[in-house]
Every structure is written in structure tokens, then in C-alpha cells.
């Protein structure tokens, strides 16, 4: 697994530009669309926000992998010379706040696209909320990127000799405080168990909707239109939201158990691909023409099969975390 960590650091450096640049592009397109009153451009900008919010999951979790590389693989908690732990903690807290706003923006972007399939025009209130959230998120991402620039990216070069001067801030910052609250070390042992329960409930909600909607596209429940079963999607999104929130709480509480586990990185990759797969059903008109008794086109069947396989892979990798990575 140690061979994977440098790649994870490289991946974080590559991905950390996606949220800022992506939201900048989406925000620019949305402003142009509002000025020109172009619904097509609005949908494009909303899709960009949704894509960036999905990719941001990988961006956030690879940040801890980069920090792990900085510390080295020998268990020494010190940082190399020239690396400020205060800058890391500041970047960490700013990144979490930006990540939260980014996911909320992505949710409202999805909601606008989903509602836009049920009404002739995109809901004005929803687009306005996305514009406000995207503006705030872009500012927060710029701030997080600026703080990240104060960190020397020595994880991209040969390991430096560690020093003992950088250990005092190990428990500082909002992120670390949340981690102590979740793992019970600050006196709340019930939090972790509650998160485990909610994570399981969210998984059941998400996977049930994935199975029902995509089996319809594969030929089952043919007496129901695709538009009818797709109305179940908010239940699946609620389940995904529960999984994302509780999963990130687990990650924040015990990041070392995840950044050293190859199954976790595969799980995140499948989550991102599964999230991107949903864009086909939101943006393409083809599946929406499937009425009661109709057979879905080949493209829709392929997308449905891919969705089941991707989310099944997420489920498998999640359950294999204690066995494949041996870090729990």
C-alpha cells in the first residue's frame, strides 16, 4: 500500500484544481444563461456543478493521503522541515467548509435538473439558490486553495528528514475536533454507533432505488414508465446524502484507517463514477420516452447495467474495507 500513497498525493495535487476551476466555469455559464435567458446553458451550468461536487469527494479524501505521505510511512508524526502544521490545519478546516457548501450546491443543482424534467422550465427559485450557493462556494474554494498554497508540496519529491517541531498542532482545528467527537474520544461513545446505523439506513434507501429504477430500464416492471419510477430518485438521493455525511464523519474521525486502505480508494472511484452515471438519465431525453410497456433503448440499458454494477461495487468495497486493506 505504501506504493499507492505517493500516487494519492499526486492525485490530490491534480484534483484540487478541479473544484475551483469547475465552479468558476459553472458560475460564469450560469450568469451568462441568466442574462440571455437560455435554459440550455442553465442546464449545462447545473450539470457542471453536479459533476464538480461529485469529483470533489475524491479531492477531499485524497488530501489526507497527501498528508500521510508528508509524514512518511514509518509512523513518525513529525513533518519534514519547511512544512507548517498550522498551515495544514488551516487548509484542512477551510477545505471541509468549502466541501460542505460544494455538496449542498451539487444537491440543489441536481434538484433543479430533476424538477426540470417534471415542469416545462427550470424552477426559478432553485436556480437562484444555486447561484447564491455557487458564489459562496467559489469564494470558500478560493480561500482553501490560497491556504493550501502555503503548504510546501514536498510529498511530490524525495522524502525529507523528519523533525520533531511539527507535532504540537496534531489535535488543533475544527476537523480534528469533529473527529474526536465522532470517535468517542471526547466522551460521546454513542455518536459512532449512531452514524453506523444511519449509514446502513442510507445504503438501503440508495441501493433500493438504484435497483428498482435500473431494473425497469433492463425490462422489468414494464407496465410502469421510466418517468414514474424515476420519481423515487429523491429517496435515493436522501440515502446518498446520509451515506455521504456519515461516511465523511467516519473518515474525519479515523483518516489513517482509510488512506492506507486500497479498498477505500476503489470505493471512492466507484462512487464518483456512479454519481456521474446519473447525468445520462438527467440530461438525455432517450430514457424519458420509455412509457408503460415500452422497451428501453440499448444506450439506456447499458447505462442502467453500469449503474447497478457501479453501486454494487461501492457496496462490495465498503464491506471489504476490513479484509482487503487490513487496516481496521
| 297 DSSP 8-state letter | P
User: What pTM value is reported for the model?
Assistant: 0.81
Whole-angstrom distance, CA of residue 240 vs CA of residue 106: 12
Contact indicator for 97, 104 with CB cutoff of 8 Å: no
| 287 DSSP 8-state letter | G
pLDDT (0 to 100) of residue 154: 46
Contact indicator for 63, 147 with CB cutoff of 8 Å: no
Whole-angstrom distance, CA of residue 5 vs CA of residue 43: 37
| 152 DSSP 8-state letter | -
Phi, psi of 222 (to 5 degrees): -70, -15
pLDDT block averages, 10 residues each, the chain of length 328:
51 76 90 89 92 90 69 53 68 86 92 81 83 91 78 47 39 77 81 93 94 92 89 91 93 84 90 92 89 92 96 92 73
Give residue limits of the domains in the chain: 1-171, 173-328
122: left (phi over 0), alpha (psi -120 to 50) or beta: beta
pLDDT (0 to 100) of residue 167: 40
Whole-angstrom distance, CA of residue 30 vs CA of residue 131: 7
Whole-angstrom distance, CA of residue 282 vs CA of residue 279: 5
Q: Is the dihedral angle over the CA atoms 322, 66, 75, 94 positive or is it negative?
A: negative
Phi, psi of 211 (to 5 degrees): -65, -50
Grid coordinates representing 192 are: 459512532
Phi, psi of 9 (to 5 degrees): -65, -45
pLDDT (0 to 100) of residue 182: 87
Residue with cell 465522532: 182
Tell me what percent of the chain is helix, strand and coil, each rounded to the nearest 5.
Answer: 75, 0, 25
Residue 201: C-alpha distances to residues 183, 249, 271 (Å): 20, 16, 17
Amino acid at each position: 500500500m505504501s506504493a499507492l500513497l505517493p500516487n494519492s498525493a499526486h492525485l490530490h495535487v491534480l484534483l484540487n484544481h478541479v473544484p475551483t476551476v469547475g465552479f468558476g466555469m459553472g458560475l460564469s455559464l450560469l450568469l451568462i444563461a441568466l442574462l440571455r435567458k437560455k435554459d440550455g446553458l442553465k442546464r449545462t451550468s447545473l450539470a457542471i456543478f453536479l459533476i464538480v461536487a461529485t469529483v470533489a469527494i475524491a479531492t477531499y479524501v485524497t488530501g489526507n493521503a497527501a498528508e500521510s505521505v508528508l509524514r512518511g510511512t514509518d509512523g513518525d508524526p513529525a513533518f519534514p522541515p519547511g512544512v507548517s502544521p498550522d498551515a495544514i490545519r488551516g487548509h484542512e478546516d477551510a477545505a471541509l467548509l468549502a466541501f460542505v457548501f460544494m455538496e449542498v450546491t451539487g444537491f440543489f443543482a441536481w434538484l433543479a435538473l430533476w424538477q426540470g424534467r417534471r415542469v416545462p422550465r427550470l424552477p426559478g427559485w432553485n436556480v437562484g439558490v444555486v447561484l447564491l450557493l455557487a458564489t459562496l462556494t467559489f469564494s470558500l474554494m478560493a480561500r482553501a486553495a490560497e491556504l493550501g498554497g502555503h503548504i510546501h508540496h514536498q510529498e511530490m519529491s524525495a522524502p525529507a528528514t523528519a523533525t520533531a517541531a511539527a507535532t504540537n498542532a496534531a489535535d488543533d482545528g475544527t476537523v480534528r475536533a469533529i473527529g474526536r467527537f465522532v470517535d468517542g474520544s471526547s466522551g460521546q461513545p454513542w455518536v459512532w454507533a449512531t452514524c453506523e446505523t444511519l449509514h446502513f439506513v442510507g445504503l438501503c434507501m440508495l441501493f433500493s432505488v438504484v435497483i428498482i429504477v435500473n431494473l425497469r430500464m433492463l425490462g422489468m416492471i414494464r407496465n410502469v414508465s421510466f418517468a414514474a419510477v424515476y420519481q423515487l430518485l429523491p429517496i435515493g438521493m436522501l440515502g446518498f446524502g446520509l451515506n455521504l455525511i456519515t461516511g465523511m464523519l467516519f473518515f474525519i474521525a479515523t483518516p489513517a484507517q482509510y488512506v492506507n486502505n486500497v479498498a477505500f480508494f476503489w470505493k471512492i472511484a466507484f462512487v464518483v463514477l456512479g454519481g456521474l452515471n446519473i447525468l445520462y438519465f438527467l440530461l438525455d431525453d432517450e430514457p424519458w420516452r420509455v412509457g408503460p410497456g415500452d422497451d428501453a433503448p440499448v444506450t439506456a440499458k447499458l447505462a442502467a447495467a453500469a449503474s447497478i454494477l457501479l453501486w454494487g461495487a461501492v457496496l462490495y468495497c465498503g464491506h471489504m474495507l476490513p479484509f482487503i486493506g487490513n487496516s481496521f
